[in-house]
Structure 1
Amino acid sequence: MLTQESAPKEERREPLRTTDLIFPSVSSQSSKVWSSIKRSALTVGNRLRSIEKDSISVISVKDAYNLPLVANERCGSWYVPPESKAGSAYFKSTDGHAGEWSFSLRRLNLQMLDIIEQHQGCVIVDSTRRGKSMPDALSKTVPIWCTVINRALFPDDATAHSLVTPPSVVSASEHAQITQRVEDFVAGFLSLPLDPAAMRMRISKPLKPLWVTPDSELPSLWRGHDHFHTIVLCTASCCSPGGEASDNGYVQGAADDSESWACGLTPILFWQSLHDLLNASEDDLPGMIRGIVQASHGRRDERAPVLVKPTSNIFIGSETNDNKWEAVITCSPPNTETASPNAAGPKRLHLEIGPGKIGSRQLRHELSKISAFVETLQTSQRPRILLTSTESNDHATGVALALLCLYIGQSGCWLGQRSAGNAVNKLFIKQRLSWIMASMPDASPSRATLQSVNAFLMG
């Protein structure tokens, strides 16, 4: 029998409160309710209305600075009416992610130089979601690009060599870490077979970024800078403190990741059908969008063939009806190529490549057909070869890259046979890719396609 002294003491406990109780079923139901609320706020209708609202802000930026709008693809094009769109840029937020800062050698954006020079600057439009004030593409990727271009093309102008980032978004520590990498970015850019002197002829002043959000006070009169071309980096979306969606149905960065919500709708189709889409009920929208998309399928996106310089015979684009091609290489799914290889006209090679990433993986094996095909072209000193895809120019760009690495000399001349002098490695492939990107800036080959080409060439 325990005595009073030896008995264990009872711990003093606070009285149990109702708020301390956890009812799993209630917690689960609450989670489902919040998920349902979020889904209802992120409807297609709310997204389209939010895009249209944000586009009004974008147009006001264009008017305030009297500069042309350039959409940072693919998101930016949703916010820019086609009649106001001066061009496209391809700056990825991933190149501005913390610790992963980069200057992309396959997204050079050199087409921007001509637009900037003509108008003394431009407005680059993008958006972001999840409560951020601006996307990494605008706060870091484009500033890195501006700094690299300035140092490479204006090496004697020290006033233009400093990295400029928005202090409200980029910390002093991150800014310093990016600055330490800039020289390596410049060296990588100058290692490409591009002529800095020729590029310097296209741009008369260094570049300087300036940031604008929907909360910014716009100038009543803008005169620009005497020493710099101004690159206005415009975030189209308002910053929602509660996340993507707000109580009033506004969706921040509504156009982001459009593949997951747009049901095939594209920016061009959106602006063409703007009035009908914005006035449709949420229940009617899916059917209306299906009709718009289906009607557009009959209108193929034709693109005039683009010459990949410095070659004089490699082209990427849609096939034309004339007979100026000695050879046509088509990338399309099986059973879609109807032309007979023995028919009059250009010699043809059909590479059986499906859409998307699956097709990119198939590309590696289909490229093995190229060598035998090129041997049939030996009768021509410089055969004009057209590379085309039924889905997009992604796979055709991959085939063009393989041809450039295997059959084109350093000066762009046609070799007609695999050159033992072409030491194919990653740097060599990047250099050849720069020819494509300089000639066709919106080619933007996917990572999966480039991986297949690399595997084929170096495997």
Structure 2
Amino acid sequence: MSDHHLIHNLNLIMVSHTASGGMPRPLQESDLIFAPAASSLKTALGELKRSHLSITNRLQSIKQDADFVLGVSRAYDLPLVANERCGSWYIPPERKAGSAYFKSTDGHFGEWAFSLRRLNLQVLDVLGQCGGYVAEPEYHRLLTPPDVVSLSEHAQIEARIPEFVRSLRDLDLDVGKLRSTMVRPMLPVWITPGRALNNSSITGTLEHSLVVLATASNCMSGGSHSGSNYVQGAADDSESWALGLGPALFWANSALLMTAPESELPALIEGIVGESAKVTSMRLPTQVKPATSLWIANSAMAEKVYADFDIVICCGVTVNTMLMTALQSSYVHLACSNGKNGSRQLRAELPKLRILASKISQSSRILVACETGKDLAVGVALAILCSLYGSDGRLRLESTGEVSDYVSKTLIKHRLSWIMVCMPDAAPSRATLQSVNAYLMG
């Protein structure tokens, strides 16, 4: 449908009338006539939008944005850290040095809260590996780019730093270890598409480590380049358009995907995703330190390593008959589906953990697993840490007369920080954490 046809139909949607006697009268609500052309226009606009947001356009836009990101990395000779959930789409896996997890609103004016749920301490490891270490003072002044952050905003952020420091200290983390990892004070700069890439105007110094915050997508009016098929933020909401394709599969098959006709892409992606599903991913057990006897893994790995543990707790829709047969009473099944429903179901299943107190000793090894090893298993591990472990990481058992620490919101945050430090990619949903809070404090 041509643009002229669209405009012509638009002119037919609303028609004015005249009153009896030929005198014009004001247009009334009842005079609005939604002609068949209106439906035709809506359909046409919807088709145009869907055409623009096609899988082909999205993948080509992602590749274009990824080329810009790689250009930034080369220009400043810096490693690439993806801000998830979308960041990994823009970085070839072999070039990815790590991941961070910030909300899209973090750093917006007034959104300066210090997240205790996402500490992102793993970013310090990347800085330490690439920036070298120098002795630091106890603290240093806040650095913000003056072309992005005004003096007023800078002052408001700086005024909140003492509160952030108290919140961090309340977690009782090993600050000495963090300080040994930390490098020079970070000097943040923002880079967006269209800005000249060179390391002459923006460089680090002997006193600072340069942290380039790169915006992958080109910010254009309407979300696209005028007259082109570019899609701004093409990787956003991939669940709604990617047909199960993820960043790793995209990059592994990019040459094939980028050359396939749009009409063939759904079937092609279905085949790629289907073949990938046959290869079960394994997540090695991660010990939650300083706890001496608690590990987290995914369900597939639990089936491989269960013999190394005294207790195995699995979240899943159905009972794992192999584990139940092998472990008998040492296998605990928490009936939870995936997603938000599973997080809500967890609330009713967590009381089953109370049986652990009579089954474990100081030498027991406990493994907690769910399908991904990142959500429900993290919630279960958090509930165990809060109810059975002391602040020193040792089990508190009723049989020995030892009493667990009083459960409070502060304690829950403290124990969650143990997990997040050991598992930076842990991703307990808000619903999962709410279920844990209800179990512990309800």
Q: TM-score, normalised by structure 1?
A: 0.82
Matching residue of 2:422: 439
CA offsets, 1:413-435, max 9 Å, x none?
A: 11234964411111110011000
**Range that drifts further, 306-315 or 410-419:** 410-419
Structure possessing the higher relative contact order (Cα contacts under 8 Å, 6 or more residues apart):
1
**Range that drifts further, 263-272 or 241-250:** 241-250
**CA distance in 2 between partners of 1:181 and 1:35 (Å):** 46
Matching residue of 2:188: 209
Structure 1 unmatched runs, 5+: 1-12, 122-152
The percent of aligned pairs where both chains have the same amino acid is: 47
Deviation at 1:105, TM superposition (A): 0.3
Bigger proportion of residues as helix = 2
Q: Are 1:333 and 2:317 counterparts?
A: yes
Structure 2 letter corresponding to 1:33: A
Matching residue of 1:457: 440
Deviation at 1:206, TM superposition (A): 1.2
Deviation at 1:229, TM superposition (A): 1.2
Q: Following superposition of structure 1 onto structure 2, how do residues 337-352 of structure 1 map, counting pairs within 5 Å? A: 337-339=320-322, 341=324, 343=326, 347-352=330-335
CA offsets, 1:253-299, max 9 Å, x none?
A: 10112111111111000001101111111111111111111111111
Matching residue of 1:261: 241
Matching residue of 1:116: 127
Matching residue of 1:184: 163
**CA distance in 2 between partners of 1:342 and 1:296 (Å):** 29
Which of 279, 289, 292 matches 2:259? 279
Structure 2 letter corresponding to 1:332: G
Q: Residues 95 and 103 of structure 1 are in contact (CA less than 8 Å); yes or no, is this contact kept in structure 2?
A: no
Q: 1:100 to 1:64 in 2, by over 3 A?
A: closer
Structure 1 letter corresponding to 2:98: G
Matching residue of 2:209: 229
Q: Are 1:199 and 2:178 counterparts?
A: yes
Q: Residues 397 and 445 of structure 1 are in contact (CA less than 8 Å); yes or no, is this contact kept in structure 2?
A: yes
Q: 1:94 to 1:363 in 2, by over 3 A?
A: farther
CA offsets, 1:100-159, max 9 Å, x none?
A: 4321101101111111011119xxxxxxxxxxxxxxxxxxxxxxxxxxxxxxx96644xx
Q: Following superposition of structure 1 onto structure 2, how do residues 6-21 of structure 1 map, counting pairs within 5 Å? A: none
Matching residue of 1:148: none
CA offsets, 1:305-335, max 9 Å, x none?
A: 1110101211111323363211111111124
**Range that drifts further, 419-428 or 274-283:** 419-428
Q: Following superposition of structure 1 onto structure 2, how do residues 15-30 of structure 1 map, counting pairs within 5 Å? A: 24-25=34-35, 26=37, 29-30=40-41
**CA distance in 2 between partners of 1:40 and 1:58 (Å):** 26
Matching residue of 1:242: 222
Q: Are 1:55 and 2:63 counterparts?
A: no
Q: Residues 406 and 419 of structure 1 are in contact (CA less than 8 Å); yes or no, is this contact kept in structure 2?
A: no
4+ long deviations beyond 6 Å: 13-16
Q: Residues 165 and 175 of structure 1 are in contact (CA less than 8 Å); yes or no, is this contact kept in structure 2?
A: no
**CA distance in 2 between partners of 1:15 and 1:363 (Å):** 64
Q: Following superposition of structure 1 onto structure 2, how do residues 54-133 of structure 1 map, counting pairs within 5 Å? A: 54-120=65-131
**CA distance in 2 between partners of 1:167 and 1:419 (Å):** 56
Q: Following superposition of structure 1 onto structure 2, how do residues 317-328 of structure 1 map, counting pairs within 5 Å? A: 317=297, 318-319=301-302, 320-321=304-305, 323-328=307-312
Structure 2 unmatched runs, 5+: 1-22
CA offsets, 1:200-223, max 9 Å, x none?
A: 011131111111111111115686
Q: Residues 313 and 368 of structure 2 are in contact (CA less than 8 Å); yes or no, is this contact kept in structure 1?
A: yes
CA offsets, 1:12-40, max 9 Å, x none?
A: x9999xxxx97643555444433332221
Matching residue of 2:12: none
Matching residue of 1:145: none
Q: Following superposition of structure 1 onto structure 2, how do residues 163-178 of structure 1 map, counting pairs within 5 Å? A: 163-165=143-145, 167-168=147-148, 170=149, 174-178=153-157
Q: 1:155 to 1:260 in 2, by over 3 A?
A: farther
Q: 1:244 to 1:316 in 2, by over 3 A?
A: farther
Number of residue-to-residue matches in the alignment: 407
**CA distance in 2 between partners of 1:22 and 1:209 (Å):** 55
**CA distance in 1 between partners of 2:86 and 2:59 (Å):** 13
Structure 2 letter corresponding to 1:161: R
Deviation at 1:189, TM superposition (A): 1.5
Structure 1 letter corresponding to 2:394: C
Deviation at 1:376, TM superposition (A): 2.1
Q: Residues 328 and 346 of structure 1 are in contact (CA less than 8 Å); yes or no, is this contact kept in structure 2?
A: no
Q: Residues 71 and 77 of structure 1 are in contact (CA less than 8 Å); yes or no, is this contact kept in structure 2?
A: yes
**Range that drifts further, 311-320 or 268-277:** 311-320
**CA distance in 2 between partners of 1:227 and 1:98 (Å):** 28
CA offsets, 1:52-100, max 9 Å, x none?
A: 1111111111111111111111100000001101111111123334444
CA offsets, 1:391-446, max 9 Å, x none?
A: 44210000100010011111101123496441111111001100001111110211
Structure 2 letter corresponding to 1:395: L
Q: Residues 397 and 403 of structure 2 are in contact (CA less than 8 Å); yes or no, is this contact kept in structure 1?
A: no
**CA distance in 1 between partners of 2:145 and 2:224 (Å):** 25
Q: Are 1:46 and 2:26 counterparts?
A: no
CA offsets, 1:214-256, max 9 Å, x none?
A: 1111115686321111111011111112225653110011011
CA offsets, 1:364-400, max 9 Å, x none?
A: 11110011134122xx332111111124421000010
Structure 1 letter corresponding to 2:439: F
Matching residue of 2:15: none
Q: Aligned with 1:339: secondary structure?
A: helix
Structure 2 letter corresponding to 1:55: A
**CA distance in 2 between partners of 1:97 and 1:290 (Å):** 38
Structure 2 letter corresponding to 1:88: S
**CA distance in 2 between partners of 1:283 and 1:323 (Å):** 49
**CA distance in 2 between partners of 1:166 and 1:243 (Å):** 27
Q: Residues 66 and 90 of structure 2 are in contact (CA less than 8 Å); yes or no, is this contact kept in structure 1?
A: yes
**CA distance in 1 between partners of 2:187 and 2:24 (Å):** 62
Matching residue of 2:349: 366
Q: Are 1:307 and 2:282 counterparts?
A: no
